[in-house]
Structure 1
């Protein structure tokens, strides 16, 4: 089963577009990041708890880490991605499809940080961060963390970010961003937490949350695993690297 056959990304040659990301650089400098010109957000979502102490084998923390690693928590109605699962997580390029109704924007991000640590306060943390690449409709960084508070047993998912719209957006993309961008961005983070909590609960009960095969394009895979084509995808307005 291939992405081309299923038109998950409409008419786009995703293999070529993903390959082009290898030559792209991060499109901002951290020295630029400051309010009020940038949105700085932290979104926390509670997950099923464990007993106090270290992460339980096969427990909610480990289940959540696996879902976050594969980018399967992202809501497919808002954002989809293709990437090479064979390479290391650090340095991984993802071609994202941001979906604003019938406007689809294809942008690149790169994983620039992987977190795997126990903090001084007793928290056990795993996660990763990506930064936006040249041509992205935004500039900034998103960090996804799965945290177990080992003293209490509480487990949570934290998405923290700083971002702003790219200053070089073309007229059509700028219109879409002004109409839907910030509102969709906040809905994205809310839906990420909701989906991750739902999936972890289901898997903890022994349920299979992704019964179908993952869509592929050559050596690339599509995330999330439950992304399916929509009959209007081929008619959507496509913009590749609009920034």
Structure 2
């Protein structure tokens, strides 16, 4: 039973939000891991952006200058575009440990209410720089899991004010399968747009000189900044939108996003149905950290890899015999589709759950490969006169080469 709250069209009333904020103070994290280990090499997606927001007078921050204004805006989530993420929290609470509810709005009619909590606050100053920011951790009931930092800094020598966002995340919970599919397809685009718009909003805020907070229910409402009339979809672009936001540094190091690998496993399943799971099982047996979360962590992969290896070898022999049914026969085709779907779904970052979108892609690739290689085999044996055994060995060699490539890509 998922704990993720979602609604169509309308959001949550102030009393509902306050009740949920109260519960969020005791919710557990939905991930395990130290920050130093939350890297792309360990299966976490790392996304960050950095931009100069404006320029103050050189020297440390003083009084109600630009740094003070931006510091207040960062604390109040004024950088978050409410078309994508709207923050709800009690601004009277201390920042450290403060629970927040992030209302994700991927479409105009869809809402997800995701709890987070402020884990750490950073406020420091030395001779050359002043820095202020905080990090949030995702809690049970969030569609993502991980940690995100928001950091504002000032260079005392030049007066430059810089804003830096850095998130390390994996998929969290989803209330239904189509939400998971939608996240796979659209999530990264909305995330990129949110980053670009965050820098634009702070730049606009600095120019206007104020941040309006609405005290209704003790939660933050929309900040009335007309940053851009362009739609969110425009700001999801890498090129023109990044130039508009004047983002200096943008990193998108996402694990599990190599769709060619998913397609490759589907194709391999269409060529030799048992080779695809055998390659994946062998990968998991030699690199346990690569195993997706959920049931995969409980499978004895060394024994499984050995069994699947024997079955794959037997399939290579049986393929050359005349009594084996054609691969496009319904039972055989179904088996290849299942293997393509399972291996395609399992090609994910370590610790992640199986991806339904990848399952569809892997199954589709398996169908196309099954029909395609069956047609080529018939053409080679019937039109070109190639012996069936020779044609089968050539296909075996191609499957082995593809398996090696896939294994290398996973490592």
Q: TM-score range by the shorter chain?
A: 0.7 to 0.9
1:104 aligns with 2:106: no
1:14 aligns with 2:21: no
1:214 is matched with 214
After superposition, residues 136-215 of structure 1 pair within 5 angstroms as 136-166=142-172, 170-203=176-209, 208=210, 210=212, 214=214
Cα shift at 1:83: 0.9
SS across alignment from 1:146 = strand
Partners of 1:79 and 1:97 within 8 A in 2: yes
Partners of 1:71 and 1:224 within 8 A in 2: no
2:135 is matched with 129
Larger radius of gyration: 2
Query: How many residues align structurally?
Result: 213
Tell me, in whole angstroms, the C-alpha distance in 2 between the residues paired with 1:64 and 1:106. Answer: 26
TM-score normalized by the length of structure 2 = 0.48
Tell me, in whole angstroms, the C-alpha distance in 2 between the residues paired with 1:119 and 1:160. Answer: 22
Cα shift at 1:119: 4.6
Cα shift at 1:222: 2.4
2:255 is matched with none
1:34 is matched with 39
Q: Deviations over 1:64-91 (max 9, x none)?
A: 0011111122101000121112211000
1:25 aligns with 2:28: yes
Tell me, in whole angstroms, the C-alpha distance in 1 between the residues paired with 2:82 and 2:129. Answer: 30
How has the CA–CA distance of structure 1 residues 209 and 128 changed in structure 2, closer, same or farther, with 3 Å as cutoff? closer
Cα shift at 1:179: 2.4
SS across alignment from 1:117 = strand
Structure with greater strand share of residues:
1
Gaps in structure 1 of 5+ consecutive residues: 1-6, 228-242
Tell me, in whole angstroms, the C-alpha distance in 1 between the residues paired with 2:151 and 2:221. Answer: 18
Alignment counterpart, residue 223 of structure 2, candidates 219, 222, 225: 225
Cα shift at 1:169: 5.7
1:58 aligns with 2:64: yes
Structure with greater helix share of residues:
2
Cα shift at 1:28: 1.1
- Range with greater deviation from structure 2 (24-33 or 93-102): 24-33
Partners of 2:142 and 2:173 within 8 A in 1: no
Tell me, in whole angstroms, the C-alpha distance in 2 between the residues paired with 1:69 and 1:209. Answer: 11
Cα shift at 1:192: 0.8
Q: Deviations over 1:25-60 (max 9, x none)?
A: 111122462315322122112122122211132221
How has the CA–CA distance of structure 1 residues 8 and 111 changed in structure 2, closer, same or farther, with 3 Å as cutoff? farther
TM-score normalized by the length of structure 1 = 0.79
